[in-house]
Amino acid sequence: FLTTTTTTTIIIIIIIIIITLLLLLLLLLLLLSYMEAQYSLTRAQRVRAAMFPETIVEGETVLTAQSSPDQPTNVQRLAEPSQLLKTAIVHLINYQDDAELATRAVPELTKLLADEDQVVVNKAAMIVNQLTRKEASRRVLIQSPQMVSAVVRAMQNTGDLETARCAASVLHSLSHQREGLLAIFKSGGIPALVRMLSSPMESVLFYAITTLHNLLLHQEGAKMAVRLADGLQRMVPLLKKTNPKFLAITTDCLQLLSYANQESKLIILANAGPESLVFIMRNYNYEKLLWTTSRVLKVLSVCPSNKPAIVDAGGMQALGQHLTGSSQRLTQNCLWTLRNLSDAATKQEGLDGLLQILVSQLGSDDVNMLTCATGILSNLTCNNARNKALVTQSGGVEALIHAVLRAGEKEDVAEPAICALRHLTSRHLDAELAQNAVRLHYGIPAITKLLGQPHYWPVVKATVGLIRNLALCPANQAPLRESGTIPRLINLLLKAHQETQRHGSGAQQTYQDGVRMEEIVEGCTGALHILARDPINRGEIASMQTIPLFVQLLYSYVENIKRVSAGVLCELALDKQSAEMIDAEGASAPLMELLHSPNEGIATYAAAVLFRISEDKSSDYRKRVSVELTHSLFKHDPAAWEMVNIFIQESHSTLAHAVMPLDPGYIPDGELRAQSTAQPYLSALVHNTTTNCLFIRHISLH
For the segment 342-358, what is each residue's pLDDT rounded down to a tens digit? Answer: 999 999 999 999 999 99
pLDDT at 698 over 50: no
pLDDT at 669 over 90: no
Q: Are 355 and 316 in contact (CB under 8 A)?
A: no
Separation CA 131–CA 106 (nearest Å): 10
The residue ranking higher by pLDDT, 238 or 93, is 238
pLDDT band at 618 (very low <50, low <70, confident <90, very high): low
pLDDT at 113 over 50: yes
Q: Which helix (H) or strand (E) holds 512?
A: strand 511-512
pLDDT at 680 over 50: no
Q: Tens digit of pLDDT for each residue in 205-221?
A: 999 999 999 999 999 99
Burial class (CB in 10 A: 0-12, 13-18, 19+), 174: buried
Q: Are 131 and 105 in contact (CB under 8 A)?
A: yes
Q: Tens digit of pLDDT for each residue in 460-502?
A: 999 999 999 999 999 999 999 999 999 999 999 999 999 999 8
Helix axis angle for 161-174 and 202-218, nearest 10°, is: 30
Beta-carbon contacts of residue 136 (< 8 Å; ≥ 6 apart): 94, 95, 96, 98, 99, 102
Which of 66-70, 123-127, 607-611, 692-696 is the least confident region?
A: 692-696
Burial profile 583-603: b = 16 or more Cβ within 10 angstroms, e = fewer = bebebbebbbebbebebbbbb
Q: Are 290 and 332 in contact (CB under 8 A)?
A: no
* DSSP state for residue 236 in the 8-state scheme: G
Separation CA 270–CA 233 (nearest Å): 9
Q: Are 498 and 463 in contact (CB under 8 A)?
A: no
pLDDT at 82 over 80: no
3-state secondary structure of 326: coil
pLDDT band at 28 (very low <50, low <70, confident <90, very high): confident
Alpha helices, H only, 114-177 = 118-131, 135-142, 145-157, 161-174
Q: Tens digit of pLDDT for each residue in 114-136?
A: 999 999 999 999 999 999 998 88
Beta-carbon contacts of residue 360 (< 8 Å; ≥ 6 apart): 399
The answer to whether the peptide bond before residue 454 is cis (omega within 30 degrees of 0) is yes
- Phi/psi at 511 (5° precision): -115, 140
pLDDT at 559 over 80: yes
DSSP string, 33-97: HHHHHHHHHHHHHHHHHHH-GGGSPTT-------SBTTB--HHHHHHHHHHHHHHHHHHHHHHHH
Which of 197-201, 534-538, 618-622 is the least confident region?
A: 618-622
Q: Are 512 and 467 in contact (CB under 8 A)?
A: no
Which of 71-75, 467-471, 551-555 is the least confident region?
A: 71-75
pLDDT band at 81 (very low <50, low <70, confident <90, very high): confident
The residue ranking higher by pLDDT, 508 or 111, is 111
pLDDT number for residue 535: 97
Separation CA 361–CA 365 (nearest Å): 9
Taking the chain, what is the end-to-end CA distance rounded to the nearest angstrom?
A: 171
pLDDT number for residue 687: 32
Separation CA 179–CA 136 (nearest Å): 14
- Phi/psi at 76 (5° precision): -65, -40
pLDDT (mean) for 61-72: 62
The residue ranking higher by pLDDT, 150 or 677, is 150
pLDDT at 531 over 90: yes
Handedness of CA 568, 438, 365, 321 (dihedral sign): negative
pLDDT at 626 over 90: no
Which of 44-48, 468-472, 547-551 is the least confident region?
A: 44-48
pLDDT band at 650 (very low <50, low <70, confident <90, very high): very low
Q: Kindly report the average pLDDT of the chain as a whole number.
A: 85
Q: Which helix (H) or strand (E) holds 681?
A: helix 680-685
Beta-carbon contacts of residue 240 (< 8 Å; ≥ 6 apart): 276
Q: What percent of the chain has pLDDT over 90?
A: 68
Separation CA 655–CA 238 (nearest Å): 85
For the chain, the domains span 591-698
pLDDT number for residue 56: 64
pLDDT at 639 over 90: no
Separation CA 490–CA 540 (nearest Å): 11
pLDDT at 193 over 90: yes
Separation CA 532–CA 451 (nearest Å): 19
pLDDT number for residue 26: 86
pLDDT at 642 over 60: no
354 half-sphere exposure, CB direction, 13 A CA radius: 29
Separation CA 682–CA 699 (nearest Å): 11
Q: Tens digit of pLDDT for each residue in 369-392?
A: 999 999 999 999 999 999 999 999
Burial class (CB in 10 A: 0-12, 13-18, 19+), 455: middle
